[in-house]
Structure 1
Amino acid sequence: MRRGVYLLEEVEFHPMNSRRPLEYLRWLTAYKQEDDRLAEGAHELTEGLSIRSRDIDLVGAFYAVGISGHPQFKVVTLWDCHGGWDGGWRQMLEIYDDVQKNLFLSDIDDLRHGAFSRPLGAAPGSPSIAGLLDEGYAAPLYLFESARVRPGAALDYLAAVREERAPVLAEHGHRLVGAYEVQFCDTEAVTLWGTDIDAHLGLQRARDAALGMDDETEPDHRLLSWRKQAREYLEGDWRETLLSPYPGSKLAPG
């Protein structure tokens, strides 16, 4: 069983033009839906569109909910490299083997202001995105966490997330979709959770109640205990923000 390899990309759009992220999401999802019809392993570099391959699978395309802490406007995408390092990841690397003019994405010039990509390795026990899709799983809202951990502590942190945090969040309507060690660095971990608005609001209120700031709902003190436990692994910023799946992407409800 090979380790799952994924790519997470955060794309920003400036100046404040709300049509640009929509144009990008429309273009990207339509382009990758065409790729789903390709044969397994078939891939090519095409001018203006970059690589065409079903093994570099756009499993999630999300519009970032700016009120939860993202810069406005932002798109987050999650790609599954089928076959791991020797599969979709290798195909992505091959486009840099000789920097030719068809490497450059002319079809989306001037849409994106900037993009930040992170290669992810699935931690032990992380759900398989392909398995979730086979199950038909999709959520109307996702919780995206990036955590700056002590050097070398990413897998330990993610093990604690799986064993301690995931069961608690499951009781509050959050399902662990992915737990990832960011590759080519040793100081960052990423988690992704599926949820909905009611579960999100209930979780916030349960934490407020545990802090003594909401006497109209049931407190869950385990939420506070987790934050103390998490600090054993963290060394810098920790942030959770919300993502709304774009219709037509695989992790969006049909």
Structure 2
Amino acid sequence: MHRGIYLLEEVEFHPMNSRRPLEYLRWLTAYKREDDGLGAGAHELTEGMSIRSRDIDLVGAFYAVGITGHPQFKVVTLWDCHGGWDGGWRQMLEIYDDVQKNLFLSDIDDLRHSAFSRPLGAAPGSPAVADLLDEGYAAPLYLFESAQVRPGAALDYLAAVQEERAPVLAEHGHRLVGSYEVQFCDTEVVTLWGTDIDAHLETQRSRDAALGLDDGVPADHRLLSWRRKARQYLEGPWRENLLSPYPGCKLAPR
């Protein structure tokens, strides 16, 4: 057994041209669907499309729901490195061994304005995305959390998420998809949850009711208790946003 290794990338598009994220999502999902036909371990650095590999698996391609606090416009992608460090991650690194001209993604020149990547290591108890896909799981909406924790507190925070927060959110229609320690730093975590619009709205109203701001639904004070508990581990920005899966990506409903 080895820990799951993933890559999360946030891509922004400026100036505000709504066609660019659509073109990028179409391009990305189409060429990665072709890679599913490759053999395990087979990989090649190609002109214009970077590395072709089944083991660098695009499991999620999401359009960021801007009204929840994302920059507009934005795409978030989640990649599963099959085989962990010695599998898909090694293949990613090998494209930087001698910087060749086919490393550069000419097919998407001028589409992206900026991109920021986070390498992720699955925390103990985190679901394996491959297992969820084998199950046929997909959600119409995903809750994306990024948080800065005290140095060294990442795995402690994620253990608390799984022990205390996940059961509460499950009662509110949220399923934990991934619980990740950001690699090459000791101050950042990412979690991803599958949900839907009704569950999202019900959760927000239950929290408001616990604050005394909504008398039309039952209050769930555990939502407030979790935020107090979370502050024991946090030391910087914490944010949750919503993501909508692009049709055709593996975590999108079919």
TM-score over 0.5 (shorter chain): yes
Which residue number corresponds to residue 208 of structure 1?
Answer: 208
**CA distance in 2 between partners of 1:149 and 1:123 (Å):** 14
Percent identity between the two aligned chains? 88
1:193 match: 193
2:250 partner amino acid = K
CA drift at 1:31: 0.5
Once the 2 structures are TM-superposed, how far is the Cα of residue 134 of structure 1 from its aligned partner?
0.1
Q: Determine whether 1:76 maps to 2:79.
A: no
What 5-or-longer segments of structure 2 have no aligned partner? none
**C-alpha offsets along residues 29-81 of structure 1, whole Å, 9 cap, x if unaligned?**
00000000001100000011100000000000000000000000000000000
Is residue 244 from structure 1 mapped to residue 244 from structure 2 by the alignment? yes
Aligned equivalents of 1:64, 1:99: Cα separation in 2: 32
In 2: Cα distance, 1:195 partner to 1:128 partner: 17
CA RMSD of aligned residues (A): 0.2
Matched ranges for 1:111-150 at <5 A? 111-150=111-150
Equivalent-residue separation in structure 2 for 1:191 and 1:184 (angstroms): 17
How many residues align? The count is: 254
Amino acid in the other structure paired with 1:35: D
Letter in 2 for 1:169: L
Aligned to 1:218: 218
SS in 1 for 2:48: coil
1:219 positional shift: 0.2
TM-score w.r.t. length of structure 1: 1.00
* Deviant stretches of 4+, over 3 Å: none
Distance 2:170 2:131 in 1: 18
Cα distance in structure 2, aligned partners of 1:21 and 1:125 = 33
CA distance in 1, matches of 2:156, 2:51: 35
1:96 aligns with 2:105: no
Question: 3-state DSSP class of the match of 1:116?
Answer: strand
Q: CA deviation at 1:28?
A: 0.1
Q: What is the rounded CA distance, in whole Å, between the counterparts of 2:189 and 2:40 in structure 1?
A: 30
Q: Which residue of 2 aligns with 1:158?
A: 158
| Offset at residue 150 of structure 1 (A) | 0.2
Q: Classify the secondary structure of the residue corresponding to 2:206.
A: helix
Question: In structure 2, what residue type is equivalent to 1:131?
Answer: D
Q: Distance in 1 between matches of 2:193 and 2:179?
A: 9
Shift of 1:97: 0.4
Kindly indicate whether residue 44 of structure 2 is the aligned counterpart of residue 44 of structure 1: yes
1:188 is aligned with what amino acid? E
Name the amino acid aligned to 1:94.
Answer: E
TM-score by length of 2: 1.00
- In the alignment, residue 240 of structure 2 is paired with which amino acid? E
| Separation in 1, partners of 2:123, 2:144 | 16
Cα distance in structure 2, aligned partners of 1:49 and 1:191: 29
* Structure 1 residue runs without a partner (length 5+): none
CA distance in 1, matches of 2:98, 2:85: 20
Distance 2:48 2:245 in 1: 26
Question: How far did 1:180 drift?
Answer: 0.1
Letter in 2 for 1:193: W
The corresponding residue for 1:181 is 181
Q: How far apart, CA to CA, are the structure 1 residues paired with 2:63 and 2:207?
A: 26
Q: Deviations over 1:172-223 (max 9, x none)?
A: 0000000000000000000000000000000000000000000010000000
> Which amino acid in structure 2 is aligned with residue 26 of structure 1?
R
